[in-house]
Chains A and B, each alone.
Chain A
Amino acid sequence: EIVLTQSPDFQSVTPKEKVTITCRASQSIGSSLHWYQQKPDQSPKLLIKFASQSISGVPSRFSGSGSGTNFTLTINSLEAEDAAAYYCHQSSSLPITFGQGTRLEIK
């Protein structure tokens, strides 16, 4: 089973700041890494697919990069509405797995 480890687990940030969340895979997964945002009491929302591909309707301040075992989600110019948990997710091999999540708090 591929283990995804996110860092940090929690981050408190101010609006307009740039935020970087990393996801490390226990073995190479190519670009089969996706990112979700989950706000309290809501279903997860797909932000980025296949490491760096954008999703229609997702603000352009969200971007992804990486390949192999190291991946990054970047949020440029953070907004108050970005307060949420963020999860990475791999589909390279079964079982499909998720990172443990990163909770973002807006100061």
Chain B
Amino acid sequence: QLHLQESGPGLVKPSETLSLSCTVSGGSISCNGCYWGWIRQPPGKGLEWIGSIYHSGSTHYNPSLKSRVTMSVDTSKNQFSLKLTSVTATDTAVYYCARPIPPGLAPNDNWGQGTLVTVSS
């Protein structure tokens, strides 16, 4: 059974870079047609798609965050990662990694447990 686990700092200072990784187990990140995505949820609010990446490195980003987002894949570690630069308090959220049902970018049938990232000095 596929399992996704987010990891990274829970506290980031304003203007710095948020960096998270998602480790995939129970399946290969290089599976055919498999995209891997990041979604976030500010406390008490709704869900926001950040972007998705294919194991080849091809990416799709939300235009609202595109200038600050970089996603990457490390097939040797079965991991994919998110970097969000120049963070502010509005980037405080639970960050989820997820895998959509192949092929395609949605819907997501596998989710990590989520990790809370707080932006504060």
**What residues of chain A have their CB less than 8 Å away from a CB belonging to chain B?**
1, 32, 34, 36, 43-46, 49-50, 55, 87, 89-91, 94-101
Query: Do B109 and A43 have beta carbons less than 8 Å apart?
Result: no
B113 partner residues in chain A, CB cutoff 8 A: 43
Instruction: A87 to B100: give the CA distance in the assembly, Å.
Output: 16
B106→A34 contact, CB < 8 A: yes
Q: How far is the CB of B106 from chain A (nearest CB, A)?
A: 3
Q: How far is the CB of A52 from chain B (nearest CB, A)?
A: 13
Q: Report if B48 contacts A (CB, 8 A).
A: yes
Q: Are B107 and A46 in contact, with the CB atoms below 8 A?
A: yes
Q: Does B70 contact A (CB under 8 A)?
A: no
Contact assessment for B47 and A95 in the assembled complex, using a CB-CB cutoff below 8 Å: no
Most chain B CB atoms below 10 A, which of A43, A45, A49, A55: A43
**A51, B110: Cα distance in complex, Å:** 19
Considering the complex of A and B, which 5 residue pairs feature the smallest CB-CB distances, nearest first?
Answer: A91-B106, A34-B107, A43-B111, A96-B49, A98-B47
Q: Looking at chain B's contact residues, is the secondary structure mostly helix, strand, loop, or mixed?
A: loop
**A43 in contact with B49 given A34-B106, A96-B105 (CB within 8 Å):** no
* Residue of A46, A95, A97 touching B109 (CB-CB under 8 A): A46
**Would you call B112 and A87 a contact (CB within 8 A)?**
no
Determine the residue in chain A with the shortest Cβ distance to B60: A94
Residues of A within 8 A of B104 (CB): 91
Given contacts A43-B112, A44-B47, A90-B106, 14 further A-B contacts (CB under 8 A): A34-B106, A43-B96, A44-B96, A49-B107, A49-B109, A87-B46, A87-B47, A91-B106, A95-B63, A96-B52, A96-B62, A98-B46, A98-B47, A100-B46
A99 touches B60 (CB 8 A): no
Residue B101 lies at the interface, judged by CB distance under 8 Å to chain A:
yes
When the two chains form the complex, which single residue of A32, A98, A101 contacts B49, counting CB atoms closer than 8 Å? A98
Smallest CB separation, B58 vs chain A (Å): 13
